[in-house]
Amino acid sequence: MNQIPDECRRLEKAVNIYNRHKVLVTSTTRILNYDLGFAKEQWQQHPTSQFWRRTVVRCTCAFVEGLLGLLKRFSQQTAEYFDVELSKEDIEVITESRECVENGLTRTKPAYMQFRDNVKKTFAVYAKAHGIFFNIDYGCSGYKDLLDTFELRHRLMHPKDQSDLEVNDKAMGKVVQGGDWFHRTLDDVLQKCEARMPWASQE
């Protein structure tokens, strides 16, 4: 008797979750993409400018970290909707914190991850929250270029010598390729996860 109303309520909940997530992803992507696009445009107009090269690096990394952060934020609520039980490690990835006991007291501490682990675990938890699993090619050059880009950003932010602030042509090529890999992979992940929403099977 209550099957149809229950299904309607479940669909309404899914729509609300999806809409909130899409608004945040769309608005965040638009802002960060604008920053990155403007920086790239200036770099193309002034190709030898170290300032704009460094700015492209920073904007690329900001886009990646910003979107990974949103995926983490959405994962727990999405998992609850799909009745997926997240592990303790999954929760640590999402919250970027872990509980530990010191002198008999439970404390919450930051759970730092290396960037390579952050990318892999965030995508994995987000997919798991939707009740699916799929392979991502982490053996390709694009992913390696993304890792190199974040190493470069770290060097720019923590220079030990003046030469650490210089970004050469080869490094810029990796920045562009690494950023493109992340954009493609993110789009693929979002599309596969959206296909799990209840209305997708009705299309």
Rounded to 10 degrees, the C-alpha dihedral 92/97/103/105 comes to -90
In tens, the pLDDT along 44-71 reads: 999 999 999 999 999 999 999 999 999 9
Determine the length of the chain. Answer: 203
Question: Strand, helix or coil at 100?
Answer: strand
103 in a domain, yes or no? no
- The 8-class DSSP code of residue 133 comes to -
Question: Counting Cβ atoms within 10 Å, is residue 180 exposed (0-12), middle (13-18) or buried (19+)?
Answer: middle
- The mean per-residue pLDDT over the stretch 169-191 comes to 97
Mean pLDDT of 114-125: 96
First-to-last alpha carbon distance for the chain, in angstroms, is: 26
pTM: 0.87
Least confident of 18-27, 137-146, 166-175, 178-187: 18-27
Domain presence at residue 61:
yes
Task: Classify 107 as helix, strand or coil.
Answer: strand
With respect to residue 138, please indicate whether it lies within any of the assigned structural domains.
yes
Residue 21 contacts by C-beta under 8 Å, 6 or more apart in sequence? 70, 74, 78
Residue 189 lies in a domain: yes
Residues 80, 44: Cα–Cα separation, whole Å: 45
Residue 122 in domain: yes
Please indicate, yes or no, if residue 100 is contained in any of the structural domains. no
* Domain of 137, in residue numbers: 3-83+115-202
* Token pair in block for residue 119: 């990318």
Number of separate domains in the chain: 1
The total of other beta-carbon atoms located within 10 Å of residue 126's CB is: 23
